[in-house]
A and B are shown apart, each in its own frame.
Chain A
Amino acid sequence: MQTADLSAIAADDLKLAAKIARQAGVGLDDCYQCGKCTAGCPMAHAMDLVPRQVIRALQLGQVERAVNAKGSWVCANCMVCSARCPQGVDISQLMLAVRHYGKKHGLRPEPDADKFDDAFVANIRNFGKSNEAILAAKYNLVSGHLLQDLGSVPKMLSRGMIGPKIHGVKDKKSVRAVVDRVLKDGGQQ
């Protein structure tokens, strides 16, 4: 069991934690650590800090601990935690806010998930639509999992699920402009 010296928490750390929580529309004081969020979390078994611990870390101003943990990256965003919280705390939004903060500050404790999402957004920026085969191939390439799901390719081809044709929007410029405009401004953060 860990102990925390509550008298040594810096006000700035608490402010930063509260700021991250505000992005999620969450009041950190609302959580009384019942653990209902984590009891129903389907990915908790793979987390270092489970949802209840992420919010506890933020309550204690331990932003770095929350952000460096894989928890918020392993979160599948299924929102069971938020749906079941007796206090109405939107935990899944909080996990997302922690992840956004980490990503913005160059902390990516779960690089594979990040590479997949970057490849996905790049796919949209390039074509306007998501091309599943290109996405999978690119993800395998950048993540180094070269052979992942390769066995499914013949079946997908024979079923017409993937093919040589690239799907895309006609007005590629307009989608690219939306992506670039939003991401250049640093977004809503």
Chain B
Amino acid sequence: MSDTMRYAYFPGCSAAGTSIPYTLSAGFIAKKIGLELVEIPDWNCCGTSAALVTDRDLAVALPARSLAIAEHNAATAGLDVATPCAGCFASLKSARDYAASSEQRRARVEAMIGESYSATADVFSFLELMAQEAAATAIEQAIQDAALTLAGLKVACYYGCALVRPASICRFDDNENPQSMDRLVALTGAEPVEWAFKTECCGASHQMTEPAAARQLIERIFVDAAANGAELIATACPLCMLNLDLRLAEVNKRRQEAGQTTFDIPVFYFTELLGLCMGGGVRQLGIDRHFHPAEPQAKRLRTLQQLAEEQAAREAAEAAEAARQRDVRKEEAARKKSEAAADAVPAAAGQGTVADEKEVHA
């Protein structure tokens, strides 16, 4: 990891488009915690899965061009690379690892991009760099300073594929039950739920090319999140976000027609949740730009004082209720005692019926 929180920033193509809320919320956090993101000049698309299924070399060459620019540019030279997008992360890190794996391969990459490239800088996703100790501590501090909380909100942290698989390239967290996002989300006071679909695939570009087959991948994610009590899903990937958030309406429509329950489970970037608790506004963080309305869950934000007052009020109410029940029990006991005393005379005289006795004992 970098010694300071300073990175060469690769925004990815969605940063100025479909994932504006991610850009806004991550930028807000960066400012708050002193994370410096220096944009790689004239970076190009990483190629993502389209390059990979077209040609293995193309999947290396496209990200390598941007990585080489980062090396050559004075403002970004020597910095590790950071990207918000899981797909960009996978492409950049795979290309970097390929070039770093042998001198021969590095030379091949240089020939493909027509530039020198040493492949020394490492690549991090926003999730990984924010989960690192320095950033996580700063985030925790900023949340404490803002004295805000999302206490009580149940969150299903969704990691998807590209941040954790393949483990040999990602070298980050557990690829079946990752915890890094859960730990960050817990800093807000929200409650990450245990669920089974943390690293299941959202269908990626198949939501466009194989919609009939791929829709159920989205639906299953919502079904499992709901079954485990989640009120929202947190994600760290623009494509996971788009697929889940954009397609939820269609999933709900289908379920309604089939007479099944629908889901009111908005999808958030994990950075939006952190940003809220650092004092960021709904518009400022882009939370008002979601397809499935996310504002109701954002309104669950309270100050720590409100939380303390609520807790005090709840405890007072509980104490009052306990006292009331105690009184009721006392009255009941006293009533039974006096009834039993009154009944005792005929019962002792042998005139009581079986029904009477049952009533007394009931």
Contacts and interface: CB of A to CB of B under 8 A. Distances in A.
Co-assembled chains A and B: yes
B171 to A, nearest CB: 13
Contact of B49 (A77, A83, A136, A143): A77
B217 A183 contact: no
A129 B47 CA distance: 9
Using C-beta atoms within 8 Å of the partner chain, give the interface range for chain B: 35 or more
Given A76-B203, A167-B17, A181 B112 contact: yes
Nearest to B41: A170
Contacts of B246: 152
Nearest to A119: B50
Contacts of B50: 116-117, 120-121, 124
B58 interface: yes
A113 B209 CA distance: 5
Contacts of A169: 42-44
A141 interface: no
B52 interface: yes
B165 interface: yes
A187 B58 contact: yes
Contacts of A162: 17-18
B20 A159 contact: yes
A160 B20 CA distance: 8
Contacts of B56: 23, 96, 100, 187-189
Interface pairs A-B: 6 shortest CB-CB: A46-B213, A120-B50, A78-B201, A187-B55, A130-B13, A79-B165
Interface of B: 13-14, 16-18, 20, 42-45, 47-58, 61-62, 65, 112-114, 161, 165-167, 175-176, 199-201, 203-206, 208-214, 216-217, 246, 289, 291
Given A120-B51, A130-B45, A148-B208, 15 more contacts: A43-B214, A45-B216, A46-B214, A77-B49, A103-B53, A110-B210, A121-B58, A129-B44, A131-B13, A156-B18, A167-B17, A175-B65, A181-B114, A183-B55, A188-B56
